[in-house]
Structure 1
């Protein structure tokens, strides 16, 4: 029996490590364009020829081509986040418009594609970064690195809220207050000293607060329903699955299709997309991401309420402990758990 007790953790650790390695390394190792939105502009024959060459070189489903009637329209489409870049062909030559702020990985991929044999005339390709990253973070490393601390902050808040606020109403207030303060503090640091975020300060702070609140409310709800197991499940969902599939370091369209969609529907991926929009694109293209965050916030808070109600009805001390409330021992010496939902 003793040997079995030690065998379980010995097997669990390498299995967990293997699963984490697979989640983080596999999407990046298999990164390739899959329906990547790209604009093209120029004479009809030249556009058709370019699309054909790129399809042969990278696969027929690698790019989703959007045609525009000139460089000005293509620039607007990039600024609106309809496409990641555009190839503009004219008698004067070929111009590749990129947006490193949308994804440095995609910008590099488009430059390689434009300089390769599929481009036709690589010597004539001029590259223009329409929406560049800040000079303080030219490769976007600081931006992508900022996602994990927000996840940790949300998980920590969900873990500490029950002990800080014994009633349900106060607990929700702690989650909201901590998210707002995190948004203010993180944005102040990112826009001033570190200077890797641009855009409207209030908009960035609001998105950071929403990311934190989406994570903390979801983890809080899972903990309310499943106690320690729920807390661990929520943390793993955010850090292992959500962070690994977010596409923040590449782009959702560069990940395996199913992984890309999973990432967009979880708070880390939606949060990264929304923060890019407010920081670099004047808020364009953030509607879906904000909706995803809002849905997780509502779902998490509902689960928190349901967990509190269930613990209140059952009077189970472990259920009350998950919600951070204990009643005084009854006269007979039997502890009677109670949860206030004020």
Structure 2
């Protein structure tokens, strides 16, 4: 073996070892990120209202509190106040004690999984007391998507669209304002196409069309700006790093299939700070609840978009400055003459 080929052989061996080690490691991380939240889905401090006279609701509260750590009880004076809290997304449902018997208010639009869970839990409590409970869906999911499957399925495609836009802008060498305008334009088109599909065609969304399109677009821009910004600062490795965080953490931790309070801690909280989770919460708010509780997720997405675009502009400026000649170097020939 020649001396020149030895370093090449060692480099190839190191790459092969890296593949052998990284492949199972990435597989384990992916399985952990997706399987762990799914296997541990259960209510954890799930906001639930109880309405009616204190003497009448005391027994129901006591029964619900037997599920230790499952529910966060909010007390309301009457059914009207409980309905307002559900429509404001303060609680996922409420148990109302009436002279005719207990009544369960749910909001399947907020989460069909949670609505079904509340029906089962409260029905068991009522059956133990020898009473029947009537269920009223205050904010119902759309008839064409009663299980929220379309909304859940939109999380991954939007994340992929954002990652693709950020990667394409980086690989094409676009910088500065041009790159920012390209990302904003792509996000706007993605938002309108997604709203046309989910709202106009599938009927899975029922809110204001333009608000939904803006939500889709902002979610896409948050992802694409994060990808392009990371790549501008640390190079092509930023694309892979950002994609890993958004795909293997943001997607399974989003709570789109159930609710953030149904995921093991701290997965639910982390997911709401990432674009997939914030985008899902914002889309539910603008589509089914007239924008209630939309401020938090909207600010989160805006923060991701602004920081990403800022990082992209900063990286572009740093590269331009690095390529520009030093002033002293320009003056030396003149001084020498």
TM-score for both structures, normalised by structure 2 = 0.89
The residue number in structure 2 matching 1:279 is: 287
- Alignment equivalent of 1:24, drawn from 34, 42, 55: 34
Unmatched segments (≥5 aa) in structure 2: 1-9, 325-337
Unmatched segments (≥5 aa) in structure 1: 317-342
Whole-angstrom distance in 2 between the partners of 1:121 and 1:184: 51
The residue number in structure 2 matching 1:319 is: none
Q: CA deviation at 1:265?
A: 0.7
- Alignment equivalent of 2:43, drawn from 33, 42, 57: 33
Aligned ranges for residues 1-342 of structure 1 at < 5 Å?
1=10, 3-56=13-66, 58-59=67-68, 61-117=69-125, 120-121=128-129, 123-162=131-170, 166-315=174-323
SS for the counterpart of 1:37 is strand
Q: 1:49 to 1:125 in 2, by over 3 A?
A: same
**1:113–1:119 Cα contact (<8 Å) kept:** no
Q: Which moved more, 1:89-98 or 1:305-314?
A: 305-314
SS for the counterpart of 2:256 is coil
Whole-angstrom distance in 2 between the partners of 1:51 and 1:198: 34
**2:175–2:312 Cα contact (<8 Å) kept:** no
Q: CA deviation at 1:121?
A: 3.6
Whole-angstrom distance in 1 between the partners of 2:320 and 2:122: 63
Q: CA deviation at 1:151?
A: 0.5
Q: CA deviation at 1:75?
A: 1.0
**2:183–2:225 Cα contact (<8 Å) kept:** yes
**1:253–1:260 Cα contact (<8 Å) kept:** yes
Whole-angstrom distance in 2 between the partners of 1:118 and 1:311: 67
4+ long deviations beyond 3 Å? 1-5, 117-123, 162-167
Q: CA deviation at 1:191?
A: 1.1
The residue number in structure 1 matching 2:331 is: none
Superposed CA RMSD: 1.6
SS for the counterpart of 2:204 is coil
Whole-angstrom distance in 1 between the partners of 2:211 and 2:297: 14
**2:177–2:313 Cα contact (<8 Å) kept:** no
Which protein is bigger by CA-based radius of gyration?
2
1:269-296 per-residue CA deviation (whole Å, 9 max, x = no partner) reads 1100000001111111100000101111
**2:278–2:297 Cα contact (<8 Å) kept:** yes
TM-score for both structures, normalised by structure 1 = 0.88
Q: CA deviation at 1:123?
A: 4.0
Whole-angstrom distance in 2 between the partners of 1:94 and 1:175: 52
Q: Which moved more, 1:298-307 or 1:112-121?
A: 112-121
Q: 1:38 to 1:117 in 2, by over 3 A?
A: closer
**1:54–1:118 Cα contact (<8 Å) kept:** no
1:63-98 per-residue CA deviation (whole Å, 9 max, x = no partner) reads 111111211211111111010000001120111011
Q: CA deviation at 1:118?
A: 6.6
Q: CA deviation at 1:119?
A: 6.2
Q: 1:40 to 1:169 in 2, by over 3 A?
A: same
